[in-house]
Amino acid sequence: MSKPPRRISASYLENAALHYLERFASSAENLRRVLLRRVQRAASFHGDDPEVGTALVAALIERYRQAGLLDDAVYAGAKSRSLHRRGSSSRAIRQTLAAKGVAAEAIESALEGLAEEAANDSGPEDAGRDVDLAAARNYARRRRLGLWRPAEKREAFREKDMAALGRAGFSWVTARKALEEEEE
């Protein structure tokens, strides 16, 4: 049996928010959702008015934004780089950030930053290389698809590898390039 939720107070919400932010990076909207779930659960258990807790959460979020503890642009940049290294497509990155409540402008700025980093990281021979191709190669390397599969099994698993990249959000052209491109 789980413990009953504590009554909502400003200090309780602050402690909960700081504990959450110590463990996870978060957007302002995501932290708001986490805290509002606590408020709803406590309000329904204790019979309190959830509007009081909602006002406390809004004030806390605004204070954290002013103090710099919550910055959606920084969060979007860091999360997009992390997802890109894991092999997520730009479409998947966009959806993940939108689900976390990041504004569309911050998402687009983060994706533009990824494109600039990819252009800076690649040499003159790769000047036109796009972000999704690099992410597809990261995904293929991590999952041991295409070039990272034993040579004798590559042809037999080609369609399955293409399907895996498609399910990960990559276009057919990008998936084909990622699987056919030779290691540099």
What percentage of the chain has pLDDT greater than the value 70? 92
Output the CA–CA distances (angstroms, integers) from residue 103 to 69, 113, 117, 124, 145, in the order listed. Answer: 17, 16, 21, 34, 34
Asked whether the predicted pLDDT for residue 127 surpasses 60, the reply is no
pLDDT digits (tens, 9 = 90+) for 8-67: 999 999 999 999 999 999 999 999 999 999 999 999 999 999 999 999 999 999 999 999
Contact 85, 138 (CB under 8 A): yes
What pLDDT, on the 0 to 100 scale, is given for residue 129?
54
pLDDT, tens digit, for every residue of 102-123? 999 999 999 999 988 877 765 5
What is the reported pLDDT for 66? 96
Q: 128 near 75, Cβ under 8 Å?
A: no
Dist CA 85 CA 137 (whole Å): 10
Closest by CA to 26, choosing from 65, 67, 84, is 65
> Is the predicted pLDDT of residue 68 greater than 70, yes or no?
yes
145: CB partners within 8 A, 6+ apart? 139, 157, 161, 164, 165, 179
By the 8 A CB rule, do 141 and 148 touch?
A: yes
pLDDT averaged over the chain?
91
Given this model, what pLDDT does residue 149 score?
Answer: 92
What ranges do the domains of the chain cover? 10-67, 72-125, 128-180
- At 142-178, the pLDDT tens digits run 999 999 999 999 999 999 999 999 999 999 999 999 9
d(CA 49, CA 110): 39
